[in-house]
Amino acid sequence: MKVAALFILGCLVWRRMATGTFPEQEKNPSFWREWAQRTLKNALTLQDLNKNVAKNIILFLGDGMGVPTVTAARILKGQISGQSGEETQLEMDKFPYVALSKTYNTNAQVPDSAGTATAYLCGVKANEGTVGLSAAAVRSQCNTTRGNEVTSILKWAKDAGKSVGIVTTTSVNHATPSAAYAHCVERTWYADVDMSKDALLWGCKDIARQLFENIPDIDVIMGGGRKYMYPRNTPDVEYPEDERHNGTRNDSRNLVGEWIDRMKDKKGYYVWNRKDLLSLNPNNVDYLLGLFEPENQTYELERNNEMDPSLTEMVDVAIKILRKNERGFYLLVEGGRIDHGHHEGKAKKALHEAVEMDRAITQADHLTSVYDTLTVVTADHSHVFTFGGYTLRGNSIFGLAPKKSTIDEKHYTSILYGNGPGFKLVNGTRENVSTVDYENNNYQAQAAVPLDLETHGGEDVAIFSKGPMAHLLHGVQEQHYIPHVMAYAACIGQNKDHCRTKSGSPSLNRISPTLALLLTVKWLLC
């Protein structure tokens, strides 16, 4: 009886929202004026710029998280909690500084995730399909690799004595994470089986191998990608009966086994499921390798809570391990499957991935301090994803526009794609979406142009930042500028002169003893 009553009440609330009604207080002009005054007072405090040296630097990368995706995820976050959604704040919305990033690759107006990763991790623009290489390298041509390698901010941080980590919901050797450690002319050379004979003869290495060899002491690595680490036909530990998930390596190397042997006396742990991850005491772990799926991790909407950790849980463990280093840390966190959801035309999956990444950002905030941690949230590129149709306040973000098309007299969903697999004709005309389950997790939103996979978008993406030197991320910037700001803030890499006193020792802006005590208490409680 109680369940039925709650269901009816929920329906009534949702129906009220979908009719464009809104809270009574919003009718009063003083509501908006007082809100604006609170915002203004907060903005005035930004005149006191945080010029501390960043002990820690964190980059949250929402793969494919263009501005329309950010807005839609904000609404979804609010609607999940029972609100209309539009007035909700994402954690990244609270960051004091926002800029725009120009995402083009050196040879592409609309970029891919490899060339963009090289920009925001290595600080140079690059060709599409290449990672950790300058634009002098040519995609798939192994002999253009040598001499064109560029290093990433992860390596700059490691060389400076900081702990470093990579956390992703894709494979750990996918485009975004690979630019942090690899130098490869082809982003799809996940394992040696994926490489051409010529590439192997020229001496190029697959990306999985580079993960363990180029920077062999990365402190934390978490994501998917088990199959690329094991010899060909090795059954997967989680799916031993499914040959699709078997190991793929032709060189017979067991990269996970090699890592375990190398780290056995260094407090190193390998885990492949959520239970083992959460059973670790971070205080007793110095190195962690977590590979939770044979390829990419599952979508948040489909995640097996018994076997697979959430992005938030991975970030929590990663920071608790990395922050033990007195010199601080660098952490790359990728919400990688936002991109995949959009490519499949499945907006519900993409947006839930974005909301989960925002939860991870919130958790990182609980574990760090804005006084000594620079946190940046951005995207590599956008998608041809949009929502519109004059929807009313509180309309389900996955719902229908309120009016039918005046051309074919059929309903359409607010969310649409410019191209992709959602293009469909029924008897020569557009499908009547009001007859299908458009709120289903796997519903593919209608697209204007038929493609097997939806494409990236070419518009600028947002950069949200907070912490030391966050104000340097302002205006409209080239994407490769991002790691240079982060390095400047942390006194690593190329720009170090501003960080030293006359004696040559590193210098931080002074923090009051009271503030230092509060920061210590926060750290201990978290």
What are the φ/ψ torsions at residue 169 (nearest 5 degrees)?
-95, 0
User: Residue type for 307, please?
Assistant: M
Distance CA 78, CA 157 (A): 37
Q: Tokens for 354?
A: 């974005």
- Annotated binding residue 174: yes
- Contacts of residue 466, Cβ cutoff 8 Å, sequence gap at least 6: 94, 95, 96, 97, 370, 374, 375
- Annotated binding residue 498: no
In angstroms and rounded to an integer, the radius of gyration of the C-alpha atoms of the chain is 24
Distance CA 314, CA 311 (A): 5
DSSP SS3 for 443: coil
What are the φ/ψ torsions at residue 33 (nearest 5 degrees)?
-65, -45
Count CA atoms closer than 13 A to 93's CA, side-chain side. Answer: 16
DSSP SS3 for 420: strand
Q: Tokens for 403?
A: 């009016």
User: Residue type for 405, please?
Assistant: S
- Annotated binding residue 435: no
- Annotated binding residue 93: no
**Residue pointed to by tokens 């998930």:** 245
Active-site residue flag, 113: yes
- Contacts of residue 130, Cβ cutoff 8 Å, sequence gap at least 6: 114, 115, 118, 137, 139, 184, 185, 186, 187
Cβ atoms of 433 and 411 within 8 Å: the answer is yes
- Annotated binding residue 383: no
Cβ atoms of 156 and 165 within 8 Å: the answer is no
CA-wise closest residue to 53 among 372, 369, 323: 372
Q: Tell how strand 461-466 and strand 97-102 pair up.
A: antiparallel
Single out the catalytic residue among 113, 140, 178, 465.
113
- Annotated binding residue 365: no
- Annotated binding residue 352: no
Cβ atoms of 349 and 299 within 8 Å: the answer is yes
Cβ atoms of 134 and 493 within 8 Å: the answer is no
- Annotated binding residue 334: yes
- Annotated binding residue 380: yes
Binding residues for Mg(2+) are 63, 174, 176, 334
Binding residues: 63, 174, 176, 334, 339, 343, 380-381, 456
Catalytic residue list: 113
Q: Which residues are annotated as a binding site for Zn(2+)?
A: 63, 339, 343, 380-381, 456
